[in-house]
Structures are given as structure tokens and as C-alpha cells.
Amino acid sequence: MSWQPYIDSNLIGTGKIAHAGIYGLDGGVWAISPNFPATREEVLDIVKGFSETSDLPSKGLRIGGTKFMVSRVEDTFVFSKYRVPSEENQTANNNPLKLDTIMCAKANKCIIIAGTIDTVTPASARPIVENLRDYLVSVGY
């Protein structure tokens, strides 16, 4: 199965998602948008957070070393927001992609991680991410 069209058309192509990746639950990359900096360790921390939901709100999540504050954790969805100033973000790369939110949707075999910029409302982006997740679940992923 070719995964890149899901990133290019279903996510980035909507104009609501700025950067995204689809990863296996083992942290392996299935498809990513150019320059999306999530590391394997960062993806694994997010995957772990779905089973240990109490950790993500207190620790936050990171994408490319940039910390995002987690404000919502559900069974299959995590919402986080970039927060400045943060001591950690001041010393890190300071959000080079200018992402405002990170949304993570977990399917049976993979996780979608999508970032939006500040001109896009989370309410308009979330259904895009969840609809792709629902489709992937329906076809066995």
C-alpha cells in the first residue's frame, strides 16, 4: 500500500493541515510531509501516551524537539498546542515550522500526527485527521 497520497491529498491537500506523518505503532515512518521533524522516540512517546493517558498532559509531547502542551487525551485522539514562552522551547529550536497545534489520531496499526498553523482552527482540522483515521481502521489499519 502506498501511504504518501494519504499525506499529500487527504491531509496536506485540504489546506487545513500544514505538516503530517503516518507512523507505525513501533515508531516507523510510513509517510511524511517534507521537513516534518518527528523522531521515532517522539512518536513512541505519543503512542505510549494513549495507553498511559496521565503522562501526556503533565509531560506534554514533542515534535522535532519542540514541546507542545497537551490539553486533551481521548482513547484515540490527542490534542496539543504550542505554548510560548516555555524554558524548554526557548532553548530548543523554537518551533521552526511555526506549528500551532499537533493532533494525533491512533488507529489499530498506525498513528497519524498532524500539525496546523495558527490561521487554522482546530475544529476545522480535527475532522480531517479523524476521518482519515476512521478510514484506515475500516480497511484494517
Residue 2 pLDDT exceeds 60: yes
Task: Give the pLDDT mean for 122-139.
Answer: 96
pLDDT in tens, 9-29: 999 999 999 999 999 999 999
Q: Distance between CA atoms of 9 and 106, rounded to whole angstroms?
A: 19
Mean pLDDT of 123-134: 97
Per-residue confidence (pLDDT) for residue 89, from 0 to 100? 47
φ, ψ dihedrals at 58, nearest 5°: -80, -35
pTM of the model: 0.91
Domains parsed from the chain with CATH numbers? 4-138 (3.30.450.30)
Q: pLDDT tens digits, residue range 55-114? A: 888 889 999 888 899 998 899 999 999 876 555 544 555 666 788 899 999 999 999 999
